[in-house]
Structure 1
Amino acid sequence: MLHITELWKGVALASMLMLGTASAQTVLKSSDTHPDGYPTVEGVKYFGELVKERTGGRYSVEVYHSAQLGEEKDTIEQVRSGVIELNRVSMAPFNGTVKETIVPALPYIFRSEDHMHKVMDGPIGDQIKAAFEPVGLVALAFYDAGARSFYNSKRPIKKVEDMKGLKFRVIQSDIFVDMTTALGANATPMPYGEVYSSIETTVIDGAENNFPSYDTAKHYEVAKYYSMDEHTILPEVFVMNKAAFDKLTPEDQAIFRQAAKDSVAKQRELWTAKTAESRATAEKVGAEINEVDKQDFIDAMKPVYDKHIPDEVLKKLVDDVRAVQ
């Protein structure tokens, strides 16, 4: 009888261990400054769904949206140090640490969103991804962030001269500061979450961003003039802490990379729909949207290129981007 009792105990213990192994799950934290439902947030969620499905539930992703873990500058340091594993962030804040990211951040480097897709989906995109690894990150995917344009509370901008004297919030990037200065305006780098109140209290006159950000942050309430100079078509980057990625088996690494690639198509689809929806919302509430003479803006960018593309490696990368048809 003792034998049988011990046998059943052994069976029960083995069953518990098997159950524990089957239900074990590693939860990865991911940050995004944008609100729930925003295309980048939903893109990372979709990535998480694919990873969970393809690893049989061994990994899942918890997305902290709405800057719950901090603004982009803070979360970049968190993911590099391993406090969080994943992060969706603009490429501009990486300009100081990953020099290759300077090129896609240049004003008017891309002729259109289609041109940007062809560049970032090809060998040039792979080259830029590889440049993240020496700083402790694995670039998994590039997401759409549309075209960025200036908007303000003072007046429509139709030509470069209309920029003179206006104060604009820009991304915390020297390129964006120098671009704004070259156009005759004053640049104020600040976190995205401070823009609304800063325009409202006249600390700044406006900012620059895409239609979905202009809409979801309700910047149209304090800056009704949106001028479509479309100075940058800057992709966003979805990164993972390299140490965490290196701990994955080769099979799981392949799953993560493929899931990220598959999430790009989903994110782009959501982005296109959200851009149209956000522009319609802005127009409905009274925002004044106008076209501009882009050639004037393009011509003003020569000093920005001269300053930020100082070496032959980056100059070649610029030429390679421009050569993509």
Structure 2
Amino acid sequence: MNRNKGLDFHINRRTLVKAGAAALAMPAVFASARAQEKYVAKIAHTEAVGSPLTNAFEAWTKTLNEKSDGRIEAQHFPAGQLGKLGDLLEGSRIGTIQVTTAGPDSEEAIAPEIAAFGGAPGFIYKDEAHVDAVLQGPLGEEASRIAREKTGVEFVAYGETGFRHVLSKTPVTDLDSLKGMKIRVPELRIWVDFWKLLGANPTPLPYTEQYSALSTGIIDALDSDLYSIIGFKWYEQAKNLTLTYHWFLPKAVRVNAAWLDSMPADLQELVRTSAKEHFAEQRKVNRANTEKALEELKSLGVEVHRLSDEQRAKWAELTEPLFADFGSKSPETQQMIDKIRALG
């Protein structure tokens, strides 16, 4: 009887030891399983195929797939393949789209204090050096933090499409030629107000509808960077380009924060670090090829006009009240506008 009790004791002890070892091993098993989990990243935006921004997203997609050893499955959908900009922005907030891009002005309704980073309300950025001082420094990090808290996305990097100009069916050389012109604007109040102050007739339309709107006469003009004019072939419907430099549009690389937080630390670091590297290169390419894009448009039959310094000063003067109006949304918004302008 005693021998059986002793045997039971040894059996139970071995069982406990094995159970303890298994319990100790469980965290490692879970960690290993989590490390091998695949994280799908739908990268969707409305930028034109062949543009520097789209090329940067294509290169970044490849980097995420290769350097994650397949743990991130990045899929790239440019040129509105998965929907209009508003749909993609909402998808990035709720997580059905993991990555998209837009100007920070797209946050006007939710976080107006960071909308000014998107160029609102016009003439806020003096030049590209001013843009870099704002977005590649503490203010850019602050904008990302605010976006995370209020919209559920993190700005992991900033690309750009550059300064916007006016593409129109008839030449725009002064305020008189702009008067009453139906110009497409995003569905944001600040853009509507900007063009109203200049005497134009702003017409809110989704980004992807601009070609058909030009062809049918719904609009007479649009404002855009040079690369999008080429990529979406808007020059086929409007043959006059006026270099106005009225609005510089950075593009925040927006990543759903919950998706980012769900990944292991090494993958989070890969997403953030590789994004900064690819879009730093994108900014260089974008700026280096501006003149080349302008020459290409000329070869496609576009007549190029330049807004005189005097006229540009008048445009800036007429739209100056928008800074106070936009800043009235909240003390934080006015403070952010002041910080941005002070760096210029």
TM-score by length of 1: 0.88
One-letter amino acid of the structure 2 residue matched with residue 238 of structure 1? V
Deviations 1:49-99 (A, max 9, x none): 333343333213111012110011011111212112111223332211221
Whole-Å Cα distance in 1 between the matches of residues 188 and 166 of structure 2? 16
Residue 161 of structure 2 aligns to a residue in which SS? coil
Rg larger for: 2
Superposition pairs for residues 51-62 of structure 1, below 5 Å? 51-62=64-75
- Equivalenced residue count is 305
* Aligned counterpart, 2:319: 301
- Does 2:271 align with 1:252? no
Matched, 1:75 2:88: yes
Residue 26 of structure 1 and its aligned partner are, at CA, apart by 2.9
- Where in structure 2 are the equivalents of 1:166-177 lying within 5 Å? 166-177=181-192
Within the candidate set 199, 206, 210, 2:221 is matched to: 206
Is the Cα contact below 8 Å between 2:100 and 2:255 reproduced in 1?
Answer: yes
Provide the rounded CA distance (Å) in 2 between the counterparts of 1:231 and 1:258. Answer: 32
Which deviates further from its counterpart, 90-99 or 46-55?
46-55
Amino acid at match of 2:77: Y
Q: How far off is 1:138 after superposition?
A: 1.3
SS of the equivalent of 1:251 reads helix
- The equivalent residue for 1:43 is 56
Q: 1:323 maps to which residue?
A: 342
Aligned to 1:34, the other structure's residue is in SS state coil
Change (3 A) 1:80 1:21: closer
Query: 2: CA distance between counterparts of 1:35 and 1:110?
Result: 24
Match of 1:243 in 2: 258
Say whether residues 1:152 and 2:164 are aligned partners. no
Structure 1 residues 22 and 125: alpha-carbon distance in aligned structure 2, compared to 1, 3 A threshold: closer
1:102-141 correspondence runs (5 A): 102-104=115-117, 105-106=119-120, 107-133=122-148, 134-141=150-157
SS at match of 1:233: strand
The correspondence for 2:112, drawn from 99, 108, 112, is 99
Distance, in Å, in 2 between the alignment partners of 1:103 and 1:80 is 20
Q: Give the whole-Å Cα distance in 2 for the aligned partners of 1:256 and 1:280.
A: 36
Indicate the larger mover: 159-168 or 264-273.
264-273
Specify the code of the residue in structure 2 equivalent to 1:139: F
Which whole-Å CA distance do the structure 2 matches of 1:168 and 1:249 have between them?
47
Residue matched to 1:277: 292
**Higher mean C-alpha deviation, range 162-171 or range 20-29:** 20-29
Identical counterparts, % of pairs: 26
**TM-score where L is the length of structure 2:** 0.83
1:182/1:301 contact within 8 Å kept: yes
CA distance in 1, matches of 2:280, 2:334: 30
Which consecutive unaligned segments of at least 5 residues does structure 1 have?
Answer: 1-19
Query: Is residue 29–residue 84 contact of structure 1 (8 Å, CA) maintained in 2?
Result: yes
Amino acid paired to 1:319: D
C-alpha distance in 1, partners of 2:73/2:99? 12
Aligned pair partner of 1:89 in 99, 102, 109 = 102
RMSD after superposition: 2.0
